[in-house]
Amino acid sequence: MTIEDVIQQAEKAGVELVEFLFVDNGGIIRGKLTHADHLRSRIISGIGITPAMMAMNMLDQLQPIPEMGPVGEVRLIPDPDSFRILPYSPRVASMLCDQITLTREPWAACPRSFLKSVIRQAEAMGIRVMATYEDEFTLARVTEDGRYVPIDKSLCFSSIGMDVGNPVILDIMSALKAQGIQPEQYYPELGHGQHELSISPTDLLGAADNQVRYRETVRAIARQHGLVASFAPKPFVDQAGNGAHIHFSLWDLDGERNLLWDPNDRFRLSELGYQFAAGILRHLRGLVALTCASVNSYRRLNPRSWSSAYTAFGPDNREAAVRIASTFWGNEERSMNMELKSSDSSANPYLALGALVAAGLDGIRNGWHPGTAVEVDPASLSDDERKRLGIVRLPSSLGEAVDAMEADPFFKETLGELLFRSYTTVKRSEFAAFAERDTEFELTNHFYKF
């Protein structure tokens, strides 16, 4: 889309406000809005924001990062291709933004620019990544005293949950379609009020942008139904967690050949695919600081929760962090994909997808192999067996995940010094802030913000 296309579409639809959105280091979707009369000039020169926004944690506590204080400015420059008229908010459109310095370069702490740099790295290796998030979320009502109560107590995949969920899901699906996002499957999930609606894969930048639109859309439509939707990783202590598994596949640059596919392998996975998985597993203990990015995430990542708790991989193994997904009959090569289970929607999707792919590329560059595929629940193995297979427990807190991220030089190299430092500082501050408060405070804050 050109700038002119955007202006024309906005005018035709009677748009008056345009949201310029970004995702911060705390995983929160934020932005500023422009009146449509100024859209053309704002697309060109952006909307200014303080660099301090990337030093803000999910409690709006500003962290002391020298480059991110009261002095200075970055510009939110929207991507014309990301323009969408919001089907759930009359006369409003949204655009997804890069953070650009006043010298017109991508800011070193800009998550969307980071993801673009990883896409270029992959392309330089002849690889185009396709991906999608597969989100679970909780639908709840708010009581008069401010508590969140799930809208159903339905069993996993139970038709009772469908009766309650269908009307909301139908509206969510049309709103997604109107924004160019193709719904795939829907079902009531295991937890009370928990629902899962999957969407089709797209290119990597599109997958991150779609995750932002998806979170926005689900929340907004639920509100129109008098409900609250939450992507909190563990909304209620006694209920299943909300995962946001990442499905991905690797393609040649023409998008013709699925590079994960090898019909002669036992699991139909190519050597390149094994190497990519090996890179992810090798860096996974630090990677989860980016893919399972909140304090609440670590209530979800437990053994026997189908969320993954170990650095294992296996065919259709839903307790393994990396699952080799079985293919669809009649469409084997095109449907070959892998899934990262250690992922939830409290992540900044640009950072999570960028770091995931960078880790996989690292595996390819080094020619690593992931070892033996695990065909049982890793929690059912003895400590010795896990040790022999090189299977390690994932961090059990955000603090431990950030430790692992700092201990692995790959992350600073990949993210760059400023993004790495600001991210780890923000995450450490969240870990410290929630450590001082009770469980109730943690649950309500994550419920409301994600």
Binding residues for ligand GLU, rule: CB under 6 A, are 136, 240-241, 243, 300, 306-307, 318, 341
135 binds Mg ion (CB under 5 A): no
How would you classify residue 180: left for phi > 0, otherwise alpha for psi between -120 and 50, otherwise beta?
Answer: left
Note whether 109 and 221 are within 8 A (CB): no
Note whether 41 and 72 are within 8 A (CB): no
Provide, rounded to whole angstroms, the least separation between the CB of residue 36 and ligand GLU. Answer: 40
Q: Residue 313's closest CA among 351, 288, 276, 264? A: 276
Count of residues interacting with Mg ion (CB under 5 A) = 1
User: At residue 47, what are phi and psi to the nearest 5 degrees?
Assistant: -110, 130
Q: Which does 241 bind (CB under 5 to 8 A by kind): Mg ion, ligand GLU, none?
A: ligand GLU
19 binds Mg ion (CB under 5 A): no
| Residue ranges in 96-232 assigned as alpha helix (H) | 111-124, 159-178, 204-224
Q: Which of 196, 216, 344, 377 binds Mg ion (CB under 5 A)?
A: 196
| Residue ranges in 261-397 assigned as alpha helix (H) | 271-291, 297-300, 332-335, 349-366, 383-388
Provide, rounded to whole angstroms, the least separation between the CB of residue 245 and ligand GLU. Answer: 6
Provide, rounded to whole angstroms, the least separation between the CB of residue 198 and Mg ion. Answer: 9
152 binds Mg ion (CB under 5 A): no
Which window, 193-201, 285-293, 333-341, 394-402, contacts Mg ion (CB under 5 A)? 193-201
For the record, the structure tokens of 369 come out as 């192999």
Nearer of residues 153 and 223 to Mg ion, judged by Cβ: 153
| Residue whose beta carbon is closest to Mg ion | 196
Distance of CA 160 to the CA centre of its chain: 29
How would you classify residue 264: left for phi > 0, otherwise alpha for psi between -120 and 50, otherwise beta?
Answer: alpha
Note whether 35 and 25 are within 8 A (CB): no
Nearer of residues 82 and 198 to Mg ion, judged by Cβ: 198
Which window, 190-198, 272-280, 310-318, 386-394, contacts Mg ion (CB under 5 A)? 190-198
Nearer of residues 134 and 408 to Mg ion, judged by Cβ: 134
Provide, rounded to whole angstroms, the least separation between the CB of residue 241 and ligand GLU. Answer: 4
Nearer of residues 31 and 193 to ligand GLU, judged by Cβ: 193
Nearer of residues 196 and 430 to Mg ion, judged by Cβ: 196
Provide, rounded to whole angstroms, the least separation between the CB of residue 243 and ligand GLU. Answer: 2
Nearer of residues 341 and 449 to ligand GLU, judged by Cβ: 341
Q: Residue 58's closest CA among 398, 407, 421? A: 398
Nearer of residues 136 and 262 to ligand GLU, judged by Cβ: 136
| Element containing residue 150 per DSSP (H, E) | strand 148-150
Q: Is the dihedral of CA 378, 384, 389, 391 positive or negative?
A: positive
Provide, rounded to whole angstroms, the least separation between the CB of residue 120 and Mg ion. Answer: 32
Nearer of residues 122 and 232 to ligand GLU, judged by Cβ: 232
Provide, rounded to whole angstroms, the least separation between the CB of residue 339 and Mg ion. Answer: 10
383 CB-near residues (< 8 Å, 6+ apart): none
Provide, rounded to whole angstroms, the least separation between the CB of residue 165 and ligand GLU. Answer: 16
| Residue whose beta carbon is closest to ligand GLU | 243
Bridge partners, 115 (sequence order): none
Residues, the chain? 450
For the record, the structure tokens of 287 come out as 């990677």
Which window, 36-44, 188-196, 217-225, 321-329, contacts Mg ion (CB under 5 A)? 188-196
Nearer of residues 117 and 335 to Mg ion, judged by Cβ: 335
46 CB-near residues (< 8 Å, 6+ apart): 20, 75, 76, 77, 78, 97, 100
Q: Which does 171 bind (CB under 5 to 8 A by kind): ligand GLU, Mg ion, none?
A: none
User: Cα(258)–Cα(130) distance, rounded to whole angstroms?
Assistant: 10
Residues lying near Mg ion in the complex (CB under 5 A) are found at: 196
